[in-house]
């Protein structure tokens, strides 16, 4: 699982530092779930570069014997 976490961190660093672009639309999710906090305290366009982002995975095994690539 460590490799998925490292890949996600690398992606977030690239999006925030190199491209300064929210192509994953994380700002929309933030606004949808934390509207009051988002509107009163944050300017997403300015703070996206420094906003802490972390990936959390939920893995469900649906069927034994299947292989995903």
Residue 52 CA: distances (Å) to CA of 12, 17, 55, 58, 62: 9, 12, 10, 20, 32
69 — pLDDT class (breaks 50, 70, 90): low
pLDDT over 60 at 48, yes or no: yes
pTM recorded for the entire structure = 0.67
């Amino acid at each position: 699982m460590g490799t998925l976490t490292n890949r996600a961190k690398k992606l977030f660093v690239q999006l925030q530092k190199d491209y300064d672009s929210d192509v994953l639309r994380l700002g929309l999710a933030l606004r949808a779930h934390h509207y009051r906090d988002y509107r009163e305290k944050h300017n997403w366009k300015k703070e996206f570069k420094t906003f802490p982002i972390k990936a959390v995975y939920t893995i469900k095994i649906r069927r034994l014997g299947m292989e995903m690539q």
